[in-house]
Amino acid sequence: MILIVLVLLTVSSLTFGNRHNRDKAVQVRVQSADEWLRVENVLEKYLKKQDIDIWAYPNHNGKANLLIPGDLFNVIANQFDLIGLSYDVTVDDVSRLLDDIDVQLQEWNKEHKGIVGKYPTYDEILAWFDELKTNYSGWIDTLDIGNTYDGRIHRSLKISTGGTGKWKVYIEGAMHAREWISPATVIYITDQLIQGYANGDPEIVEWMEMLDWYILPVANPDGYDYCFTDDRLWRKNRRPNNGTNCVGTDLNRNWSYQWGGVGADPDPCSNTYRGEHAESEVEVQNIVNLIMPEAEQFIYYMAYHSWGQQFFTRWDYTADEVPSDHEQLLDLAHRAVNAIVAVHDMYYEAGTAPELMYAFSGSSADWARGVAGIKYPYLEELRDNGTYSFILPPEQIVPTGEESWAGFQVVVREIVSKCSGISPPGPCLP
């Protein structure tokens, strides 16, 4: 009897952690590009088999984060010692953390009503869409932009108070499946917009009258669902790759602007696999098809990712070039970050990804400017700074939403001040 109870306990407590038995999250400190090359040499054969997952490439402080299976840790730690690399174990047992947070989530979901402040499943998000449509039928609708590889509906929310010739805003979450704080933040922001308009907040009423909103909390529904059913730390989409057992393309490496450059792996087993060619993935194509026909009406493209606490201006793909309006976009990013920091005194930075983190090519935000020509293309890396990484505890969902909403508002206010009274394609005031 005791045995049976023990077995049951073990099984039920392994729902989230089972794929990551005793994995360790490790932060390494590299002093130079050469040192990182030596790290990659150590990791190469494990990366090919998807045994090790690079959570974050070296940032401007030389810190990179890895997920290493428990049974490989000693071997790899020895090799790190041999090349003189310093590292810290940031999470000693990832499976235990996943299971602890899972227990917290179950409690949290029991104690809290509604969808805001939670990590909802894709189906729960679609059910919320339906409720919103019913409750606010005059101005909230859903828009199906296609199907996913596995045949799910790829659904966005469309908020429009009517009228034509309006500027459009696009908000994107969960392009990377495991970044759960991203859709949760998109939901928080959407709720603020809706409540603000429904309650007659004068500023939000003005925004709603001037702008149409396309909100896609889950850009990668197959991957996102897979996190709930199979592997909480899944990143890519779920399309099998020909000639390998490895599944999935990194959807944020598959966009057509500067596709296939640095930070986008040609190896299908890599977690940053760029795909066979630009826009090979149906989820990316769906978003391209949503935006491109009316690209010149889109004024703001906001992509939420995690983690890192950064607000990125273009470009992601190179440190050698910036758009001609870089100073203006960077200044706005700094103002957004000041507003974000002011809410909970959480540290965020503004700048380009190559400056603050690392370069990566084929991103949606680069595409938004480089191909679609959208004036305000930003990517925010939400909480945290590596303490919990992708496994952010539920009590941080609302605070992350609150601070991100503050940054989001700064950008919308700028758009309103520059574009009010000017119809697309503009130009708006300089």
Ligand X SMILES: *[C@@H]1O[C@H](CO)[C@@H](O)[C@H](O)[C@H]1NC(C)=O
Kindly list the residues in this chain that would bind ligand X in the complex (CB under 6 A): 128, 131-132, 135, 242, 249, 254, 256, 259-260, 274-281, 385-387
Q: Cα–Cα distances in Å, from 338 out to 122, 134, 315, 331, 417?
A: 32, 37, 21, 11, 19
Nearer to Zn ion, 58 or 428 (CB): 58
278, interface contact from Zn ion, ligand X, none, CB < 5-8 Å by kind: ligand X
Nearer to Zn ion, 168 or 369 (CB): 369
Tell me if 305 contacts Zn ion by CB under 5 A: yes
* Shortest CB 176 distance to Zn ion, Å: 3
Cα(291)–Cα(170) distance, integer angstroms: 9
359 close to 317: Cβ distance less than 8 angstroms: yes
Instruction: Provide the CB-side half-sphere exposure for 106 (13 A, CA).
Output: 10
Instruction: Provide the CB-side half-sphere exposure for 269 (13 A, CA).
Output: 13
Contact range with Zn ion by CB under 5 A, out of 18-26, 34-42, 242-250, 302-310: 302-310
Selecting among 179, 349, 380, 381, the annotated active-site residue is 381
49: buried, middle or exposed (CB in 10 Å: 19+, 13-18, 0-12)? exposed
313, interface contact from ligand X, Zn ion, none, CB < 5-8 Å by kind: none
Phi, psi dihedrals of residue 55, rounded to the nearest 5°? -75, -35
24, interface contact from ligand X, Zn ion, none, CB < 5-8 Å by kind: none
Nearer to ligand X, 97 or 299 (CB): 97
Cα(195)–Cα(161) distance, integer angstroms: 14
59, interface contact from ligand X, Zn ion, none, CB < 5-8 Å by kind: none
Nearer to ligand X, 254 or 310 (CB): 254
Residue 296 falls in the annotated catalytic set: no
Of the candidate residues 154, 176, 314, 383, the single one contacting Zn ion (CB under 5 A): 176
Nearer to Zn ion, 120 or 223 (CB): 223
Cα(69)–Cα(65) distance, integer angstroms: 13
Cα(135)–Cα(158) distance, integer angstroms: 14
* Shortest CB 178 distance to Zn ion, Å: 9
Q: Cα–Cα distances in Å, from 96 out to 73, 101, 243, 384?
A: 16, 9, 34, 19
Q: Which residues here bind Zn ion, judged by CB under 5 A?
A: 176, 305
Which residues participate in catalysis according to the annotation?
381
